[in-house]
Structure 1
Amino acid sequence: MQDRWNAFMPYPQVDVGHASAGPLSGLRLAVKDLFDVAGYPTAAGNAAVLAASGIKTATAPLVQTLLNAGACFVGKTNTDELAYSLIGGNIHFGMPKNPHDPGLIPGGSSSGSAVAVAAGLADLGLGTDTSGSVRLPAAINGLIGWRPTHGSLDNRALRPLAPSFDVPGFMTRSLEPMAAVMSAVGMPSANDRPSSMLIPEDIFETIDDVIADEMIASLRSAGMPIRRTASIISFSLADLALAFITILQKEAWESNKTLFERSPEAIAPDIAARLLAGSRLDDEAVREAHRIRELFSGEIDRLLCENAVVVLPTLATSPPTRDAEPESFAAFRSACIKLLCLSGLSGCPQLAFPVASCAENVSLSLFGARSADRMLVNVARRLSAE
């Protein structure tokens, strides 16, 4: 395969079998290099992990489910190192090129899977989403991105980052293959229509006014039952982001402690700094973060218990260029986590998709109750049909 986008890891190709017929027949599958695939190593975007990996003899159960449904494996994809970033860069294997806008970052950490789908090299991009690693690159590359209900998909033979947030997730160019994937992996059916679409005014006030107006206009044009509300939560976005980052850093350190202690020089300085920050966290700060998470999760469950869907902008701000300074990357990551952490903290599903009626590349997100994943696709279909 010709890969001028640097979407795939440079592994020798191995024949990975798949069912000759099934609901995913004819769809090409690109798999983030965090999942084991028989005949391939698993590097997690790190040269030391690659050197220690060896060739895997078994395939991750979720990947096998997709193969059994007829999907055709086309390769393992690039990822941010240890899946611990939202930018898409990697000092070991390079930054994939964004086919949607080559001047911009591709977003991460599921950068390669997003780029493979956006470039037409794959139809299904399997990634992981901890702090936004499916939703963010999907938004930047003009794709559909699905973060499933936490715990709903099999995550065995998947290298963890922060297990209480980690979920496998998917990216596609349109809603039809996404609906097929949801069916193939056994997501339960859901109501076609929400009771209401909640627009949190405090969140929409944080983004560009013109973009916010275009998003809301797209909802109205589809005849959706809109309900505006001052806020959906009692916490500030800054407090939620801090709680999220605290738990994330603690778990990321625990997941990567052995690698760091054995090969600290093999980890990029910015990734190493985040790991070290996690090792130094005060126990009381971690307990407080978990307390906020529990309270927030309860609030969201009560809010969404009557089949409501929250509408959110996927990104808090425009993505930086791929040659921007590290400070710009850090500011972008920090701003976006304030919105992306809501799904992680609550465990609820989120579906990101392009707003066709907007002049620019704008991504809207639907945020629903646990196990309402398929309803989000149904709602997105209605919006996209307008």
Structure 2
Amino acid sequence: MQDWWNAFMPYPDVDVGHASTGPLSGLRLAVKDLFDVAGYPTSAGNAAVLAASGIKTATAPLVQALLDAGAFFAGKTNTDELAYSLIGGNVHFGMPRNPRDPDLIPGGSSSGSAVAVAAGLADLGLGTDTSGSIRLPAAINGLIGWRPTHGSLDNRALRPLAPSFDVPGFMTSSLEPMAAVMSAVGMPATNDRPISILIPEDIFETIDGVIADEMIASLRSSAMPIRKINSIASFSLADLAVAFTTILQKEAWESNKTLFEQSPDAIAPDIAARLRAGSRLDDEAMREADRIAALFSREVNRLLCENMVVALPTLAMNPPRRYAGPDSFAAFRSACIKLLCLSGLSGCPQLAFPIVSRAGNVSLSLVGARSADRMLVNVARRLSTCLKEQMPF
């Protein structure tokens, strides 16, 4: 297989068995290099971790479940270093190239899995999502991206970043394989009761006004019950982002403390700086962040308990070019975290999917109650069908 996109890690091919039949038969699986796969090392996007890894003798249970369902292993994919970025770059193994627009970043940290699917090299992109590492690259590469209900999928033999937020998840090029993989990994079926889609005004106010207006108009034309609300919780998006980042940085430091202390020069400067920031956080900051996270989670659970779904833009701004400077990357990351942190703090599932608009291809997201993952696919399917029928171009 020719990988012009730098989606896959350059490991020698190893025969990874899979079931000859099953619900995922015929689908190629790209696995982020955070999951153990027998016969391969696990690098987590870091050369020192790769050197210490050795060849794994067992496969992560989630990966094995996909293989047992008939998926064919296509390879292990590139990732941002330690899965600790949203850009898609990696000083050790290079930045994958965005097949949709090679001048733009691919997004991360599940960059290789996203690029593999977008380039047609895989059908299922297995990644992880802590602060948006599936949803953001899915949006940039024009894919479906699913961040599952926190704790719903097996995360054994998966290198952690921030366990309070880490979840395995998937990217696909259409809704059909996403529905199939949700079923294969045991997500509970959902009923078809009527739902209402909530549009939080404070969130849509954070993005370009023309795109926001068109998104809302598209939702209203979908023949589904739509209701505007001021916000989804009593906290500002800025306060939620601070609480999220505080917990993320503290847990990322704890997950990588040993590596940092043993091999500080083996970590890219920007990643090392974020790890150091996490090491300096005090107990008072953590208590306040945990308090906000707990209250927000309860507020969202109350909001969504009656079969409601929240619609929101996946990204807060257009992605930067791959050769942009650190300031552009930091501004993009900071803006997007305000929207991407909502699922992490609440533990709720989120599904990102592309819609066609006059502004081009943009990504819309749906957030549902815990364990309502498959309902989000049903709603996305209905919305996509309605929007295609409504668009005059």
TM-score, normalised on structure 2? 0.97
CA distance in 2, matches of 1:181, 1:123: 11
CA distance in 2, matches of 1:162, 1:267: 17
Deviation at 1:210, TM superposition (A): 1.5
RMSD over equivalenced CA pairs, Å:
0.8
Deviation at 1:296, TM superposition (A): 0.3
Mean Cα deviation higher: 262-271 or 198-207:
198-207
CA distance in 2, matches of 1:358, 1:137: 21
CA distance in 2, matches of 1:21, 1:103: 40
Unaligned regions of 5+ residues in structure 1, if any? none
Q: Which residue in 1 is equivalent to 2:349? A: 349
CA distance in 2, matches of 1:194, 1:248: 36
Q: Which residue in 2 is equivalent to 1:147? A: 147
Instruction: Name the SS of the counterpart of 1:169 in structure 2.
Output: strand
Q: Which residue in 1 is equivalent to 2:208? A: 208
CA distance in 1, matches of 2:270, 2:194: 42
Q: Is the CA contact 2:211–2:359 (under 8 Å) kept in the aligned structure 1?
A: no
Deviation at 1:192, TM superposition (A): 2.7
CA distance in 2, matches of 1:39, 1:215: 46
* TM-aligned CA distance change 1:309 to 1:219, over 3 Å: same
* TM-aligned CA distance change 1:334 to 1:365, over 3 Å: same
What amino acid does structure 2 have at the position aligned with 1:83? A
Mean Cα deviation higher: 222-231 or 210-219:
210-219
Unaligned regions of 5+ residues in structure 2, if any? 387-393
Count of aligned pairs: 386
Q: Deviations over 1:82-135 (max 9, x none)?
A: 000000000000000000111100000000000000000000000000000000
Q: Which residue in 1 is equivalent to 2:98? A: 98
Deviation at 1:282, TM superposition (A): 1.1
CA distance in 1, matches of 2:278, 2:211: 36
What amino acid does structure 2 have at the position aligned with 1:320? P
Instruction: Name the SS of the counterpart of 1:159 in structure 2.
Output: coil
2:227 is the alignment partner of 1:230: no
Correspondences of 1:146-165 after superposition (within 5 Å): 146-165=146-165
CA distance in 1, matches of 2:114, 2:232: 30
Instruction: Name the SS of the counterpart of 1:128 in structure 2.
Output: strand
Deviation at 1:358, TM superposition (A): 4.4
2:265 is the alignment partner of 1:265: yes
CA distance in 2, matches of 1:348, 1:91: 33
Deviation at 1:381, TM superposition (A): 0.3
Q: Is the CA contact 1:193–1:379 (under 8 Å) kept in the aligned structure 2?
A: no
Correspondences of 1:23-62 after superposition (within 5 Å): 23-62=23-62
CA distance in 1, matches of 2:226, 2:52: 53
Q: Which residue in 1 is equivalent to 2:390? A: none
Q: Which residue in 2 is equivalent to 1:279? A: 279
CA distance in 2, matches of 1:132, 1:140: 12
Instruction: Name the SS of the counterpart of 1:29 in structure 2.
Output: strand
Q: Is the CA contact 2:311–2:366 (under 8 Å) kept in the aligned structure 1?
A: yes
Q: Is the CA contact 2:139–2:315 (under 8 Å) kept in the aligned structure 1?
A: yes
Deviation at 1:216, TM superposition (A): 1.6
Deviation at 1:190, TM superposition (A): 1.1
Instruction: Name the SS of the counterpart of 2:160 in structure 1.
Output: coil
CA distance in 2, matches of 1:44, 1:254: 16
2:137 is the alignment partner of 1:115: no
Give % identity: 87
Deviation at 1:45, TM superposition (A): 0.1
Q: Which residue in 1 is equivalent to 2:331? A: 331
Instruction: Name the SS of the counterpart of 2:360 in structure 1.
Output: coil
Deviation at 1:214, TM superposition (A): 1.9
CA distance in 2, matches of 1:26, 1:214: 38
What amino acid does structure 2 have at the position aligned with 1:99? P
Q: Which residue in 2 is equivalent to 1:256? A: 256
